[in-house]
Amino acid sequence: MILAIDIGNSNIVIAMHKDDAWTNTFRYETKDTQPEFYYESALRNILLEWRISGSDVGHCVISSVVPDLNEVIIEAVKNVTGCHPLLLNPEVYKILDIEIPHPYEIGSDIVANAYAAIKLYSNACIIVDFGTALTFTIADKSGITGVTIAPGLKTAIQSLSSQTAQLPLVPIELPVSVIGHDTVSAIQSGVMWGYVGLVNEIIQRQKSELKGTYKVIATGGLITILHPLQTSFDIVSKELTLDGMRLIYDFYTSHK
């Protein structure tokens, strides 16, 4: 039984893998201002809700793009389960059987996505991750060969509201029309349909610069909102990051 904790800028995802499947998943908002006991209490309550004893958790892997939370959550895992989690970092990447460029700069979520995509789906792929940042990762059998990063949907909408005096924070919904008829629909049509165009354009430009055939794999919490993009993706995998974390854990622990 493997516990996976994916610490993102917007959300923390906690998931349990057992018998070749993700049997339980819980998502809550990332709050780096919470006291240390908050995360330990949250983990205890989640396992209690899943009817899983902490002592039954034999392994744990953590991916984090919020360094300030790393030690707090590592200690929470130790206290609740008794196991020492593996934190994805450059020392782990050195052991992997793919190349990770700029290991001290690249996000562990990007590494996990690429590893899962290569091992599970294709030796040549473009991974589109709809998270706090919108990332396009190019990977082949040798490893990660390039990354493109743009603000995520939620980030763009929040920024538009916080950086202007009169524009409100609007729901992340795709309107039927690209023409807005009030402030809310005007923002939604501009941002949401703008992102449809952004994603399609970057995918097409990346493909034109690459040699060979690349599969496009989409993942991330906001993937279902931009439904016109579904035809642009060969594969949609909501658990791609978690799968990558698990596969990296398995490879690392068997080769270190």
Separation in Å, CA 131 to CA 83, 109, 142, 186, 206: 29, 10, 25, 23, 20
Strands 11-18 and 21-29: antiparallel
**Class for domain 2-87, per CATH?**
alpha beta
What is residue 110's predicted lDDT score, i.e. its pLDDT?
A: 98
Asked if 182 is an active-site residue, the reply is no
What is the strand order of the sheet 2-7 is part of? 21-29, 11-18, 2-7, 59-64, 86-87
**Low pLDDT (below 50) residues in the chain:** none
Any idea what the Cα angle at residue 18 is, between residues 217 and 9, rounded to 5°?
Answer: 50
**Residue ranges, CATH 3.30.420.40, the chain:** 2-87, 113-244
Helix (DSSP H) and strand (DSSP E) numbers for the chain: 7, 10
What is residue 159's predicted lDDT score, i.e. its pLDDT?
A: 96
176-214 per-position pLDDT tens digit? 999 999 999 999 999 999 999 999 999 999 999 998 999
**Tokens for 168?**
């409100």
**Class for domain 113-244, per CATH?**
alpha beta
Whole-model pTM? 0.94
- Catalytic-role residue among 6, 109, 129, 243: 109
> How confident is the prediction for the chain on average, in pLDDT?
95
